[in-house]
Structure 1
């Protein structure tokens, strides 16, 4: 019985911590002098996506074989399509088509 109470307490504690981490950004008001901090926070999602994507593109399957692989080559048209259209669907479709074409015809 005490183990069940301990687990319920741990879950309740996790709920409080999760709630506080979501509530605090709304309650804390940053002064106008914190523009640098706000500018840094704006780029955090981009850096997270880059840190997830770049290793998968440059070294697929965990081993670096140079930049002439289908993943790295298909990233070029994806970046161009994303830059020109600013549309996620077109970028994904272009990437899939480019990856298939590169694997089938060039590598």
Structure 2
């Protein structure tokens, strides 16, 4: 079973995880039946092509616009791509099972 790799969530983003039924013809991402957008595209690729018929595509477009505005605000067009593996590790699938990314014994919030 290949899980759906579409980003979902409102406050906390994560992967859908339902069984994929197709692959996006543009990027190859696994997509479940609930997230197939116009033309069999994943929501992110549909949003990049200005196809907003699917609710997930509209959400992907809003996230894209937000990231672009923040990059302009900070004057850094590659701000989000400058994070390294250490920065991204807390957001990896399965990281939620760990109480603390750097286990220093306090079992509190993720150390930053």
Tell me if both proteins adopt one fold, taking TM over 0.5 as the criterion.
Answer: no
Greater percentage in strand: 2
Structure exhibiting the larger radius of gyration computed from Cα positions: 1
Q: Relative CO higher for 1 or 2, CA cutoff 8 Å, sep ≥ 6?
A: 1
- TM-score, L = length of structure 1: 0.26
